[in-house]
Amino acid sequence: QELPYSDGKKYTLGSVTVSGNTSFSEQTIVTYSGLSKGKEMTIPGEDISTAIKKLWNSKLFNDIEIYITKIEGDVAHLEIRLSDLPQLNELKINGIKKGKKEAIIKDAGLKKGTKVTENLITNTKNFLNKKYRKEGFYNTKILINTIDVKDSIETARVNMVVNIDKGEKVKVKDIVFNGNDILSDKKLRKAMKNTKKINRLRILKRSKFVDSAYQEDLSKIIDKYKENGYRDARILSDSLIVNDDNKTVSLHINVNEGEQYTFGDITFIGNTVYSNEQLRRYLRINKGDTYNGVLLQERIADNSKPDAADITNLYQNSGYLFSSINPVEVNADGNVIDMEIRITEGKPAYFNKVSVVGNDKTNDHVIYRMLRTRPGQLYSKENVVRSVRELGQLGFFDAQEISPNFNNPNPDEGTIDMEYSVKETGSSQIELQGGYGGGGFIGTLGLSFNNFSIKDIFKKDAYKPIPMGDGQKLALRLQASRFYQTYSFSFSEPWLGGKKPVQFSTSLSHTKQFLYNPITRNADKSKRFNITGISVGLAKRLTVPDDYFTLSQAVSFQHYDLQNYNTGLFTFGNGDSNNLSYTIGLSRNNTRIDPIYPTGGSNFSATAKFSVPYSLFNDVNYKALKEERDALEVIVSDSTRPIDERTEASDRVGEIDQERYKWLEFYKINFKADWYAEIVKDLVLKPSAEFGFLGAYNNDRGVIPFERFFVGGDGLGSYSLDGRESIALRGYPNQSLSDQDGGTIYNKFSLELRYPITLKASAKIYALGFLEGGASYNSFRDYNPFSIKRSAGLGIRIFMPAFGLLGIDFGHGFDALPGETVKNGWETHFIIGQQF
Amino acid sequence: CSEYQKVLKNEEIAPKFKMGEALYNEGKYAKANKLFAQIVPNYRGKPQAEKLMYLYSNTFYKTKDYYVAGYQFERFASSYPNSEKVEEAAFLSAKSHYMLSPVYSKDQKETVEAIEKLQAFINLYPESEYSVEANILVKELDYKLEKKAFEIAKQYNKIAFTSTELEAAIKSFDNFIFDFPGSSLREDALFYKLDSAYKLGINSVEYKKQNRLITAKEYYEAFKNKYPNSKYTEAINVMVLEMDEALKNYSTKS
């Protein structure tokens, strides 16, 4: 029924029927087409084509046709004939690894149920071709087949098979330069960062050919010339020759070097805030220097480093947000280029409003107190950068997603609004563990809330699921097995009183342990050792020498209560001991930006812990006691003497030790330093060193058996027993490098190389390699920082907000354990919630 | 197996609607919601859909799922503009947004959204029986924004240590007074602004001290005239005594 448009006649629409292979209801299709009953329309005319277009645009149908079935007077009856587009049923991808399939399905949009059109097939083909081309596979062949599915379900469906033959990667066999006299082939090849010719010795960069990278590298060659004063250098031509083997290409590049230029007079125009002299000091380019456009640009605005010492930052850090700096060549006679650096300073900008958005959990006051940009203050880029860094360090927000936004810039008034956009991230951790170890079941329940709000603890509404948002830390931990139980609680508030960043922290703990009874093979509850401890501390951020420094102080008390607890550790089985001490520490931490994966800065701390020097005023003659004890020791260890005498002597030694350790008298010094340096993008080198020393005021009273250092292993469990410190040293078993009683001096050095696998907020994963060495010593006489136990190894760390840090390390110990003669070899360490 | 479970697993839709409505009337909204959710697609385009969608939307509201409730009510209001419930639905949609507004000290995206929705409702149905409540809610939300800005400025005053930090506090209060001209917190804002200026003056370096004290005294005079019977009167009188004392040095010197 081909009728010319102009002959269109007006009809009223009667019925509309639908035919063809479709699973959609007739009503839906008619409604969608817009052909409602009773509608006035011209046939042939616009309405029909609009209806077809509409149906077509739904991307659900194929072969859409509209017919007139009957005409009764001026009433027309229509029929829509169409069929559903087939849906994708099963997708098979051949030729690539399983893990890569998911990504392709997602990127190409090949989900089950997708409508399969020719367009989809072509797009998928193109997408895959392009994708592999980018990776250097220029010989990729893609074949896509569709097969109709015939079964009882009426919906038209097809199975799709995608065959991928990636073929061989195309590699660069040779790069040939022509016309280069000044710069050698080697130098030019080096300038090409991502296009390299085949070289078996180079392991970091591959030699595949990627066109986009090649184009970029061509401009890098020009940059290289520009750096050397050849600012007219250009690439005359370049050609790509596919070699006979079809796997490699050769690149021929013809360059024209041009002549070398030098800098002439450099003048500053428009500068009122900084003098010519000051600006020259930042520019550091003098008349007569080889012309280097790249360097000039870098000294004016270095885009690769946000905190570089360039002229732009000089202005940006002192409020001149609206300043602009343009170098202009004013004269180029005789290959000498005179430059004018035109500066438009503009008005200094002041912050008008400063706001934070995106804090769904954290309260304003926790965030605003961290900001170094406040309303009315002069704009400074440095302060903005630092605010972002410090918000990231709080750990409440995704450090990668904090962005400072400038709103409503007003160059006339000199004002700018600042908005920090943050994204909350999970900051609570739950640890629930059950395991079999130490001869029985061990259960652990740990809760730590890093953004707690203690003031909301009695508010019912705040439990979503726990009161959050005041930046306080609260941790509870219970651990129990047949042989011991530990309860601990800690709380800290980073801004005590809300006025100044004085951190208050307190912790309480109680540990019970029982001895093993070899007869019942169970814990012997009558032989126990209890430790109860409390500590209260204050830490304050200092402003001098700089504000990365923190001074901390703490008072702690521990009570050790022994009952029938006779082990090698103590000479007295019944008795008690008290440890009242004061700790003072100074630390500096400017690591940035992500606390889990710092890429720069350093972290050092020095602490000293003291007890009261009781022996100065308690009128006990420790010298006499020591002599008596030494004499008794001889008796105890002399096996020729009668047993009664030896027991008596041994009891007396216990009594003397009880006297010596009733109140622990000691001092302890610790020093620790870590550095982080980004070598190339994201690859971080972390050297670190640490040292500890435990001493006694009164040598006759002796160094206490508590608070000692135990070197070796994973460094976990440092709170057990007697205030001991476990020092991690991978490649050796736990605490294996110290005496049974622990050392009084230790040192450790390590070098770690880290590389991130992913740094997403949901999971941060990085791999590491390490070299380390350390040892503990029993006195200064033995101390030798070079006689250390060395090790090296590899490991991986995974940080997930809900679980904390988990990791595994494989360390190889190069030295023998004490008392052994062969090197220790490989050890595996599991790391939970602690960083090396 | 209870009657509810039977109906829930049944394929037929009519009993689900019936039971859902009965449960709804009994106040068992969560259960009703489950039933409605199953049959909403089946009723699309049918005459009963209007009632169903209203009940369905309301079950979200009653079970405090305000995100969905706000969306469903809004859909209801746009799908059935002639419904007798349209006014109520429009109001409840806006009120759902109000319910989502968090405490003032957190991000106020939802608050701003709620104010917009409520205001749109008031503009659309100025005579509505709900517009009184809507106005009260808007007021409450407006106050929340005021309170937020005020507390931020007040914190700047509290943690200020250096002179630029005190100036930042003054600037924040100026911004506050400018942004919320009719605020009930105006008196407090003016007081804390004076307090910041006073601290700035008293602790000032010598060569700026006189000017800063004079400015602070201006703030004092303005405050005293505006609020002669303020709860802060005693506090500011102490300040002014100290400032006058400090200013004496300059009058005798010059």
Looking at beta carbons, which residues of chain A come within 8 Å of B170?
Answer: 376
Q: What is the pLDDT of residue A772?
A: 93
- Confidence bin at A204 (pLDDT 50/70/90): low
| Mean pLDDT of the B9-38 span | 89
Are A364 and B155 inside 8 Å of each other by CB?
A: yes
Chain A residue with Cα closest to B155: A365
Instruction: Flag whether pLDDT at A720 surpasses 60.
Output: no
Chain B residue with Cα closest to A366: B105
- Higher-confidence position of A706 and A602: A602
- Which of B157, B221, B144 has its CA nearest to residue B185? B144
Q: Is the omega angle on the peptide bond into residue A348 within 30 degrees of 0, that is, cis?
A: no
| pTM for the whole structure | 0.69
Looking at beta carbons, which residues of chain B come within 8 Å of A407?
Answer: none
How far does A712 lie from chain B, in Å, by closest CA? 45
- The beta-carbon neighbor of A364 closest among B151, B165, B167 is B151
How far does A475 lie from chain B, in Å, by closest CA? 24
Instruction: Flag whether pLDDT at A777 surpasses 80.
Output: yes
- Assign A452 to helix, strand or coil: strand
Query: Which range has the worst mean pLDDT, A161-165, A447-451, A463-467?
Result: A463-467
Chain B residue with Cα closest to A372: B165
- The beta-carbon neighbor of A368 closest among B45, B155, B170 is B155
Highest mean pLDDT among A299-308, A347-356, A710-719: A347-356
Cα–Cα distance between A121 and A780 in angstroms, integer?
A: 77
Are A374 and B148 inside 8 Å of each other by CB?
A: no
Query: Which range has the worst mean pLDDT, A231-245, A739-753, B80-94, B100-114?
Result: A231-245
Q: Does the CB of B79 have a partner CB in chain A at under 8 Å?
A: no
Are A360 and B107 inside 8 Å of each other by CB?
A: yes
How far does A352 lie from chain B, in Å, by closest CA? 8
Looking at beta carbons, which residues of chain B come within 8 Å of A498?
Answer: 155, 158-159
Chain B residue with Cα closest to A377: B168
Structure tokens at A437: 């170890």
How far does A78 lie from chain B, in Å, by closest CA? 23
pLDDT digits (tens, 9 = 90+) for B188-235: 999 999 999 999 999 988 899 999 999 999 999 999 999 999 999 999
Are B105 and A498 inside 8 Å of each other by CB?
A: no
Are A356 and B107 inside 8 Å of each other by CB?
A: yes
Cα–Cα distance between A42 and A586 in angstroms, integer?
A: 89
Q: What does each C-alpha distance from A625 to A567, A573, A616, A631, A643 come to in angstroms?
A: 22, 19, 15, 10, 23
| Mean pLDDT of the A556-572 span | 79
Q: What is the pLDDT of residue B254?
A: 47
Q: Which residue has the tokens 């209806």?
A: A51
How far does A374 lie from chain B, in Å, by closest CA? 6
Asked if the interface predicted TM-score (ipTM) of this complex is over 0.85, the answer is yes
Contact B110, B101 (CB under 8 A): yes
Cα–Cα distance between A515 and A512 in angstroms, integer?
A: 10
- The beta-carbon neighbor of B168 closest among A362, A365, A374 is A374
- Higher-confidence position of A366 and A14: A366
Instruction: Flag whether pLDDT at A437 surpasses 50.
Output: yes
* Cβ within 8 Å of B, A 401-430: none
Q: Does the CB of A363 have a partner CB in chain B at under 8 Å?
A: yes
Across the A:B interface, residue pairs with CB atoms under 8 Å apart total: 62
| Mean pLDDT of the A764-784 span | 90
- Assign A649 to helix, strand or coil: helix
- Higher-confidence position of A833 and A84: A84
Looking at beta carbons, which residues of chain B come within 8 Å of A374?
Answer: 156, 164-165, 168, 171-172
Looking at beta carbons, which residues of chain A come within 8 Å of B166?
Answer: none
Cα–Cα distance between A720 and A735 in angstroms, integer?
A: 13
Cα–Cα distance between A747 and A772 in angstroms, integer?
A: 11
Structure tokens at B245: 């004392």
Q: What is the DSSP string of A751-815?
A: EEEEEEEEE-SS-EEEEEEEEEEEEEESSTTT--TTS-EEEEEEEEEEEETTTEEEEEEEEEEEE
Q: Does the CB of A358 have a partner CB in chain B at under 8 Å?
A: yes
- Confidence bin at B32 (pLDDT 50/70/90): very high
Are B106 and A357 inside 8 Å of each other by CB?
A: no
* Cβ within 8 Å of B, A 636-665: none
Instruction: Flag whether pLDDT at A4 surpasses 70.
Output: no
Q: Does the CB of A361 have a partner CB in chain B at under 8 Å?
A: yes
- Compute the mean pLDDT over every residue in chain B, rounded to the nearest whole number: 91
Q: Does the CB of B109 have a partner CB in chain A at under 8 Å?
A: yes
Looking at beta carbons, which residues of chain B come within 8 Å of A408?
Answer: none
Are A368 and B168 inside 8 Å of each other by CB?
A: no
How far does A148 lie from chain B, in Å, by closest CA? 30
Instruction: Flag whether pLDDT at A5 surpasses 60.
Output: no
* Cβ within 8 Å of A, B 22-61: 45
- Confidence bin at A374 (pLDDT 50/70/90): very high
Structure tokens at A365: 């006051």
**Partners of residue A428 on adjacent β-strands:** A449
pLDDT digits (tens, 9 = 90+) for A670-710: 999 999 998 887 899 999 999 999 998 888 888 888 888 88
pLDDT digits (tens, 9 = 90+) for A634-666: 888 888 888 888 888 888 888 888 888 888 899
- Which of A375, A260, A365, A824 has its CA nearest to residue B168? A375
- Higher-confidence position of A173 and B134: B134
3-state helix, strand, coil split of chain A in percent (to 5) is 20, 45, 35
How far does B2 lie from chain A, in Å, by closest CA? 32
Chain A residue with Cα closest to B158: A499
| B83: Cα separation from own chain's centroid | 30
What's A6's DSSP letter? G
Chain B residue with Cα closest to A371: B156
- Which of A444, A433, A503 has its CA nearest to residue A476? A444
Interface test with B, best of A364, A367, A408, A461 (most B CBs within 10 A): A364
Q: Does the CB of B156 have a partner CB in chain A at under 8 Å?
A: yes
- The beta-carbon neighbor of B171 closest among A356, A361, A375 is A375
- Confidence bin at A440 (pLDDT 50/70/90): low
Are A361 and B168 inside 8 Å of each other by CB?
A: no
- The beta-carbon neighbor of B148 closest among A364, A469, A498 is A364
- Which of A232, A406, A445, A235 has its CA nearest to residue A316? A406
Q: Does the CB of B139 have a partner CB in chain A at under 8 Å?
A: no
Instruction: Flag whether pLDDT at A836 surpasses 70.
Output: no
Instruction: Flag whether pLDDT at A718 surpasses 60.
Output: no
Taking the C-alpha atoms of A638, A642, A644 and A646 in order, what is their torsion angle to the nearest 10 degrees?
-10
* Cβ within 8 Å of B, A 4-63: 27
- Higher-confidence position of A363 and A528: A363
Cα–Cα distance between A258 and A657 in angstroms, integer?
A: 88
Are B172 and A356 inside 8 Å of each other by CB?
A: no
Contact A631, A545 (CB under 8 A): no
- Compute the mean pLDDT over every residue in chain A, rounded to the nearest whole number: 85
Which is it for strands A234-242 and A248-256: parallel, antiparallel or unpaired?
antiparallel
- The beta-carbon neighbor of A364 closest among B152, B158, B172 is B152
Instruction: Flag whether pLDDT at B2 surpasses 90.
Output: no
Q: Does the CB of A498 have a partner CB in chain B at under 8 Å?
A: yes
| Mean pLDDT of the A174-178 span | 89
Are B171 and A369 inside 8 Å of each other by CB?
A: no
Q: Does the CB of A459 have a partner CB in chain B at under 8 Å?
A: no
Interface test with A, best of B171, B193, B200, B215 (most A CBs within 10 A): B171
Are A368 and B107 inside 8 Å of each other by CB?
A: no
Residue type present at position A747 = N
Q: What is the DSSP string of A522-566?
A: EEEEEEEEEEEEEEEEEEEE--SS-TTEEEEEEEEEEEEEEES--
Are B158 and A364 inside 8 Å of each other by CB?
A: no
Q: Does the CB of B112 have a partner CB in chain A at under 8 Å?
A: no
- The beta-carbon neighbor of A359 closest among B107, B159, B165 is B107
